Structure 1
Amino acid sequence: MFNPEFIQAQSTKYLFPETPGMVSYTYRKSFQKDVAATLDTLKGLGITDMEFSNLFNKSAAELRKLLDARNIKCSSMGVNYDVLMNKTQEVAQNAKTLGAQYVRVANIPHSGIFKLEDARKAVKDFNSVGKELKEKHNLIFVYHNHGFEFQPYQNGTLFDYLLKNTNPQYVSFELDILWAFHPGHDPAKLLNTYGDRFKLMHLKDLRKGVKSDLTGHTSPENDVALGAGQINIPEVLKAAKKAGIKHYYIEDESSLKSVQVPKSIAYLKRLTY
């Protein structure tokens, strides 16, 4: 029997058919109390891919065991800039123990406004540590933007400087779409401009009415469920697909994450071309 609804369902192309990954920072307070129970909560949401920025008082081996028991993988491990530069071997070993392919840094030390000299030092450090991670440990280094890097420079920004002066063989990037939009830039345009320099993405949205600035700071309560804020999520995802983003992670820093994360997942799953 002809069923038009079945035909329509079969022909529908979903923009984001899979369940996204999750940044551990979203559930930081829960992880601090009970890692196993928090992983059970995430598994219940359909999460099978994680980016950890903290071991939450576990060894990497202990955390890996908890992940494996739930068929959850850790694809990326975030660390502090200074820790990466000073304890590279330890960081690499922890990443490999967790099963991560990527090692991520989300800040560049600087005082006051981010300056060219800060960017130059970061370029040198990133090229060096990225080479070591790649050649000695077969890991990929990624830098995660945090808003302050978009200070004007020449015909672009210091974020452009970071992208253009780091070695693509050793340095990749994780695009946090809120921290591209908050300083006044279009994350979809960045993806279209720099393509596969971006390997990972943080999916988050900015509350309507929040004004742009270059501080790299805004209240965690300005994180809202995807699709409820200012960012054109469908356009970003189309550009991300074209750029070849490998892993997407929801990050929601707000106190309402228990309500907003399920809404964000549901929103992504119903987006169509």
Structure 2
Amino acid sequence: MKNRRKFIQLSALFGAGAMLPLQFCSSPKSDSKEATGAMIGSAEGTLKDFGLQLYSVKENMAEDARATISTVAGFGYTQLEGFDGGKGIFWGMSNKEFKSFVDDLGVEFIASHCNTFENLESLAEEAGEIGMKYLINPYIGPQKSIDEYKRMADAFNKQGEICKQNGLRFAYHNHGYTFTELEGQIPQDVLIENTDADLVDFEMDTYWVYTAGYDPEEYIKKYPGRFTLGHVKDKSGDLPFEEANGSTIIGSGIMDFKSILRTGKDHGMDYFIVEQERFEGTNPMEAAEKNATYMKSFVF
């Protein structure tokens, strides 16, 4: 695993190639199986399906969830990942009403971030009833010891069992703190190695892995099949490297998603979900449209 200094040096060395327009990038042949959630177009090596984390347009969702979802569906997103914005993950609708609404738009509500420590049984039942694929814990906060992370892994196993009983999967979404060394270990490793792969998956936030000083591709390869979802979130090159809130329009930053997404696809990552949290010179809806355009034209 690269340390931060070496990784930044390598990023600078290869950054120019990573920023080449997609039309100058070749599309390597692949014999690997198509991912179930983000299938690769057989002829062109493009993404067939990709999603949006609705937190990217959270203000718009708070104002009018139906109108916001209708608009982003028109941008070309085929999948949605939700969050609990105070109105529940179904935004004031029943689970079946919400499913009917998004089905009519031609998009799939594949997953949602939620508090998996409260009312998980009932939420998992509702999610499973409408065919959702995942309930995802988005944040646990830095733990004080490795033993606390191990206890968290035990809790994830239990939550994974509840989700499995209802026909869906449990996943944990990382932030940078699980890549900060603690007691000589990397907490993210502890969580992965102490959870049952039959019960617990992981959603890699590529931005947080990258800004923590690690190579997302190396982590995907280190734990094949465990990172089944990925947040596609680019890092601005105009801000300090360790800026906590430094995301930008995908393709305008410094991360090599051509390589990252190919590696993810080849190592069990089924879902590619756009997320952006900073909007310099733009707004969330405009950014969501530009990000969809990038994903639709993406070539491996």
Please tell me the TM-score bracket, short chain as reference.
0.7 to 0.9
Which is richer in helix?
1
Secondary structure in 1 matching 2:272: strand
- In structure 2, relative to structure 1, the CA distance for the partners of 1:119 and 1:196 (3 Å cut) is same
TM-score of the aligned structures, taking structure 1 as reference length:
0.84
Aligned to 1:182: 211
Identity of aligned residues (%): 24
Report the AA paired with residue 257 of structure 1. P
Secondary structure in 2 matching 1:230: coil
Q: 1:82-161 alignment to 2 at 5 Å?
A: 84-110=116-142, 115-134=145-164, 136-153=165-182, 156-161=185-190
Structure 1 unaligned regions, length at least 5:
1-7
Report the AA paired with residue 65 of structure 2. V
Query: Which one of 225, 231, 255 corresponds to residue 255 of structure 2?
Result: 231
Report the AA paired with residue 57 of structure 2. Y
> Cα offset for 1:195?
1.2
- In structure 2, relative to structure 1, the CA distance for the partners of 1:115 and 1:209 (3 Å cut) is farther
Q: 1:69-84 alignment to 2 at 5 Å?
A: 69-80=104-115, 84=116
Contact kept in structure 2, 1:23 and 1:251, CA below 8 Å: yes
Aligned to 1:60: 95
1:244 and 2:276 equivalent?
Answer: no
Greater mean deviation of Cα atoms: 255-264 or 138-147:
255-264
Once residues 202 and 163 of structure 1 are traced to their aligned partners in structure 2, the CA distance between those partners, rounded to angstroms, is 18
> Cα offset for 1:262?
2.8
Deviation per CA, 1:122-147, whole angstroms, max 9, x where unpaired? 1110011112221x212111111011
Report the AA paired with residue 195 of structure 1. P
Report the AA paired with residue 102 of structure 1. Y
Secondary structure in 2 matching 1:85: coil
- In structure 2, relative to structure 1, the CA distance for the partners of 1:70 and 1:270 (3 Å cut) is closer
Once residues 271 and 69 of structure 1 are traced to their aligned partners in structure 2, the CA distance between those partners, rounded to angstroms, is 26
Structure 2 unaligned regions, length at least 5:
1-25, 30-41
Aligned to 1:34: 64
Contact kept in structure 2, 1:73 and 1:99, CA below 8 Å: no
Aligned to 2:6: none
Secondary structure in 2 matching 1:195: coil
The alignment yields a C-alpha RMSD, in angstroms, of 2.5
Contact kept in structure 2, 1:195 and 1:243, CA below 8 Å: yes
Aligned to 2:19: none
Once residues 141 and 189 of structure 1 are traced to their aligned partners in structure 2, the CA distance between those partners, rounded to angstroms, is 23
Secondary structure in 1 matching 2:225: helix
TM-score of the aligned structures, taking structure 2 as reference length:
0.77
Deviation per CA, 1:154-185, whole angstroms, max 9, x where unpaired? 76511111111111111110111011111111
Deviation per CA, 1:23-76, whole angstroms, max 9, x where unpaired? 111121111111221122112111121111123333323322211221221111
The count of aligned residue pairs is 254
Contact kept in structure 2, 1:21 and 1:249, CA below 8 Å: yes
Greater mean deviation of Cα atoms: 173-182 or 49-58:
49-58
